[in-house]
Structure 1
Amino acid sequence: MQDHIVVLTGAGISAESGLSTFRDNGGLWEQHSVYDVATPEAFARNQELVLRFYNDRRRQLASAQPNRAHQLLAELEQRYRVTVVTQNVDDLHERGGASNVIHLHGELTKARSSKYPELVYDIGYRDINPGDTCDRGAQLRPHIVWFGEEVPMLDKAAEVVRTADHLLIVGTSLQVYPAAGLVYEVDRDVPITVIDPGEPASVSRARFIRKGAVEGVAEWVAHYL
């Protein structure tokens, strides 16, 4: 039976494809207040600003390309069962070849009804504008989990982590909850590797590779295989 490798990824892996992170120096939260662009209240208060913010993110994503870390993780599928659980809202894992990706915080390339959350639409890299509506007439919004909203894929992600034979963590500070709590769902005897050049939160018994995603994933893959 194939080993199950579960990969938890954060903004660090996408940063190496040129996508702006949110929390680092010069990141998006230094340029925009969370309360202006990433809460349900912000959308109710200034729909046009919120839509423009995510339209800009979508345009940036359209010009970005998956990097070697995305591709190496996808290539693992040739020999192992691999599930990527990502905090990122981009589609770089999928474009890099990954076939099994759980998006904890939503997806930029999708829109959903602001009134009927079960109505979700693939929009690619197109803008969402005021007046764009779902099939039932309600305004469309980004398919993003905003601050103050539940994380609907969290339970599914926790179930997946519990089945891991190896947990690989790439490009995340492990300081953003509830996603960071997934580390504690893994079985006690399952090895954990953290790849990040910074100082992520401490994880007991984890092996640390203090390198960027591309270099670190290459090192880990060479060691694991």
Structure 2
Amino acid sequence: MSIKVMLVDDQELLRTGFTMVLQAQPDMSVVAEAGDGVEALDKLRHVDVDVVLMDVRMPRMDGVEACRRICADGGENALVLPEGRVRPKVLMLTTFDLDEYAFAALKAGASGFLLKDVPPPELLSGIRAVASGDAVVAPSTTKRLLDRFAPILPSDHEPRPDVVDALTERELEVMMLVAQGLSNAEIAQRLFLSEATIKTHVGRILMKLGLRDRVQVVVLAYETGLVKARGR
């Protein structure tokens, strides 16, 4: 099955470049383009899309607000899709140095973010990962992002938050390592367990906490104070 991609960016030249790369792939097709969030939401009501590749900064409506409306399960501003249509996953594009909207985008429901100058193989890999239900945030990028946003994260040494009481001690241990940006393979090596076992633990963590993917695990862990940014 071909992955149906929508490109949302106010730079037509960038959209053209991405389209050339994506259309050359046997498992991808660009089914729609938009120059801002307003146009994107309008087109999504009529076009079936699997992954939205979304710029952060755009006129009229930025990528964060558009992402929030696309990913919302309900509410006044949520994108309304035809019955039976699955909501697309959103992969955000950001400039280097991680602009200030990136953390907000993850909270809004984005499945990850990539730099605009990402090498084509990494871009394609990211789109495929998001389409399959995974999240795309490199461990090093995760750490830099959360370090940068330390001022808006919890600063007091709170007790263990009630939200994770449903987790076993092993699941909590795995969650902490996910929040630090470790992959399943790295966690398995750290805990002397198989990668399949770690994958099972991650799945249970997502289910028990009502989270969508690893990105939301990272956000929750930092917001609740389970993990602190470096230097704090």
Normalising by structure 1, what TM-score?
A: 0.35
Normalising by structure 2, what TM-score?
A: 0.34
Q: Which protein has the bigger strand share?
A: 1
Greater relative contact order structure (CA < 8 Å, 6+ sep): 1
Q: Which protein has the bigger helix share?
A: 2
